[in-house]
Amino acid sequence: MSRIIRDIEELKKLVEDLKSQRKRIVFTNGCFDILHAGHVDYLEKAKSFGNVLIVGMNSDSSIRRIKGERRPIVPESYRARVLIGLKAVDYVFIFEDDTPYEVIKTVRPHVLVKGADWELEKIVGREFAERVERIPFEYDISTTKIIERIKERYCRD
Q: Which residues pair with 133 in a beta bridge?
A: 113
pLDDT for 137 equals 85
CB atoms within 10 A of CB 29: 21
Kindly report the pTM of this predicted structure. 0.93
pLDDT in tens, the chain (157 residues): 689 999 999 999 999 999 999 999 999 999 999 999 999 999 999 999 999 999 999 999 999 999 999 999 999 999 999 999 999 999 999 999 999 999 999 999 999 999 999 999 999 999 999 999 999 988 777 888 888 888 888 886 5
pLDDT for 15 equals 98
Secondary structure (DSSP) of 60-89: HHHHHHHH-TT--SS-HHHHHHHHHTSTT-
Q: In the CATH hierarchy, which fold is given to the domain comprising 4-155?
A: Rossmann fold (3.40.50)
pLDDT for 1 equals 65
Of 137, 133, 132, 146, the residue nearest 117 (C-alpha): 137
Length of the chain: 157
Domain boundaries of the chain, sorted by first residue: 4-155
> How close are the terminal C-alpha atoms of the chain, in Å?
48
